[in-house]
Structure 1
Amino acid sequence: MRKIILATTFILTALGSYAQKSEIFAPGGKAIKGYDVVAFFKDAGPVAGADSLSYQYKDAQWLFANRANLDAFKANPDMYMPQYGGYCAYGTSQGHKAPTETDTWTIVNDKLYFNYNQKVKENWSKKRDELIRKADTEWPLIKDKQ
């Protein structure tokens, strides 16, 4: 019994450590909570992806609503990937990773951004350009950290 508890503790610690260091915001292993990132550009909003239309990229499973979106992502993932791995743009500008909600999306200069919640998005929007510059500087320092 003791060995099982120790093994379980080790596995949970390892998984927790991995999740905290993930470059991509991927609760449950699904990038952007399973939403189709291409749809933000093509459909102007969040569209849930399907498990049957998935692609493994940067240690996360990316889901898509249709084959065309999957193919578009595979052809040029950097074009569709959210900035800062899908973590909160405001939080990144402050030097830390924070989870996001899909309804907080914004596209600026053909780049996809998310925020923690609508209130944070509202604050981020007031100084958006300045905060994007700060986040661009911070991201390389924090992307592999908790």
Structure 2
Amino acid sequence: MKNVALSILFAFLIPGIFYAQEFKNHHNLSNGVAIHGYDPVAYFEQGKALEGKKEFPVTLYGAVYHCSSAENRKLLLKYPEKYLPRYGGWCAFAMGDNGKKVDINPETFKISDGKLYLFYNRFPVNTMKSWNRNEMNLMRNADRNWKKLITSKNPDK
């Protein structure tokens, strides 16, 4: 019975450890914190970018997300895949345009088909404008590029 319990534990624990490492290798984190500390749930539930608070953390796949309220924390814990940003929190336009990891401005975002997309935005460049002009093609390319990136052996690409 003890061996069966250990086998079950390792069957779930080991893949989770590897996924957490892959997440950390490919996702936009600053000292382990995602989205520059912004609340991923707020984009959906409050309709705006809100800075998270350190007292409402959620750790998912090796990354820490700061939520702006206890309620948003509960939602993120219950439905993490619903609220996490696409492409590891990197600029959606850059991922679609050339498959590169480019940092974002967490206040420049779009929700499309229930998914959160984040964009680079520093004067004079706002990549969300370019994304909006060719969203379907860029999204298709970004999906393809992201899949290639996360399945490659080179996390620094």
Aligned to 2:39: 36
Aligned to 2:155: 145
Among the aligned pairs, what percent are the same residue?
Answer: 28
Could you tell me how far apart the structure 2 residues matched to 1:22 and 1:87 are?
Answer: 12
Alignment length (residue pairs): 127
Could you tell me how far apart the structure 1 residues matched to 2:100 and 2:74 are?
Answer: 32
Please, what is the CA RMSD of the aligned residues?
1.5
Cα distance, 1:139 vs structure 2: 0.3
Q: Which amino acid aligns with 1:138?
A: N
Cα distance, 1:46 vs structure 2: 0.8
Matches within 5 A, 1:120-131: 120-131=127-138
Could you tell me how far apart the structure 2 residues matched to 1:22 and 1:116 are?
Answer: 20
Whether 1:100 and 2:92 are equivalent positions in the alignment is no
Whether 1:132 and 2:142 are equivalent positions in the alignment is no
Cα distance, 1:24 vs structure 2: 2.2
Could you tell me how far apart the structure 2 residues matched to 1:30 and 1:81 are?
Answer: 13
Matches within 5 A, 1:4-83: 22-83=25-86
Q: Which runs of 5+ in 2 are unaligned?
A: 1-20
Could you tell me how far apart the structure 2 residues matched to 1:139 and 1:82 are?
Answer: 13
Could you tell me how far apart the structure 1 residues matched to 2:132 and 2:31 are?
Answer: 29
Tell me which of the two structures has the higher relative contact order, counting C-alpha pairs closer than 8 angstroms and 6 or more residues apart.
1
